[in-house]
Amino acid sequence: MLKPAAIVGQVILYGAFAAFIGYFATSPTYHQIPDDVALIKLSISHLGARECRKRTPEELAKMPPNMRAPMDCPRERSDIQLEVDLDGKDVFRTVLHPTGLYKDGVSTVYKRFEVKAGSHQLTVRMDDNLVKPGFDYVKDEPITLAPRQVMVIDFNPDQGGLFFK
């Protein structure tokens, strides 16, 4: 059986420990990025295009009837070229290679940029078929970032391609 002095001692020690944990759970305040900085996150996962070709009538005639698909599409996907410019300056340039044993998987990139809060001109260009020249997707627009704001650059072909959120 515990003595009353032992119970009071335990309450005091447990209370001090809870106060210690409670203080450091809320103070000092921690910020991942400085007060005058905003964050731009580039997060894209996309399948590159495939280079399909139409089979000739002679090729189709040589094939068994159940294998006569008019298009010949290899399994391998194209690399993806990606460029990001901020206020007319190159910020990020890369070529993304498809994943997978047969290079038929998704190409993925994740990159974060700390920039000064305020107004900027952001340009993102992406080409998912390196055989044909030019960029298939381009997004160029002015943005205004508040201090400690996080903006994401993403890609969704169903929503028109590149978008900022």
| 5 belongs to a structural domain | yes
Pair (23, 93) in one structural domain: no
Pair (14, 44) in one structural domain: no
Pair (41, 20) in one structural domain: no
Q: Are 39 and 33 in contact (CB under 8 A)?
A: yes
- Matching residue, tokens 């020690």: 13
Q: Domain of residue 20: give its range.
A: 1-30
**At 29, is the pLDDT very low, low, confident or very high (cuts 50, 70, 90)?**
confident
Q: Are 38 and 115 in contact (CB under 8 A)?
A: yes
Q: Are 143 and 164 in contact (CB under 8 A)?
A: yes
- Matching residue, tokens 């495939």: 50
pLDDT in tens, 71-94: 998 899 999 999 999 999 999 999
pLDDT in tens, 104-147: 999 999 999 999 999 999 999 999 998 888 999 999 999 999 99
Pair (45, 6) in one structural domain: no
How far apart CA 22 and CA 26 sit, in angstroms, is 7
CATH number at residue 135: 2.60.40
How far apart CA 157 and CA 161 sit, in angstroms, is 4
Pair (85, 4) in one structural domain: no
Cβ partners under 8 Å of residue 109, min gap 6: 42, 43, 44, 82, 94, 96
Q: Are 125 and 73 in contact (CB under 8 A)?
A: no
**At 1, is the pLDDT very low, low, confident or very high (cuts 50, 70, 90)?**
low
| 66 belongs to a structural domain | no
Whole-prediction pTM: 0.78
Residues above pLDDT 70, as percent of the chain: 99
pLDDT at 55: 94
Pair (113, 157) in one structural domain: yes
| 26 belongs to a structural domain | yes
H helices present in the chain, as ranges: 4-26, 57-62
Pair (9, 45) in one structural domain: no
**At 30, is the pLDDT very low, low, confident or very high (cuts 50, 70, 90)?**
confident
Q: What is the mean pLDDT of the chain?
A: 93
The total of structural domains in the chain comes to 2
Q: Are 116 and 73 in contact (CB under 8 A)?
A: no
Pair (91, 130) in one structural domain: yes
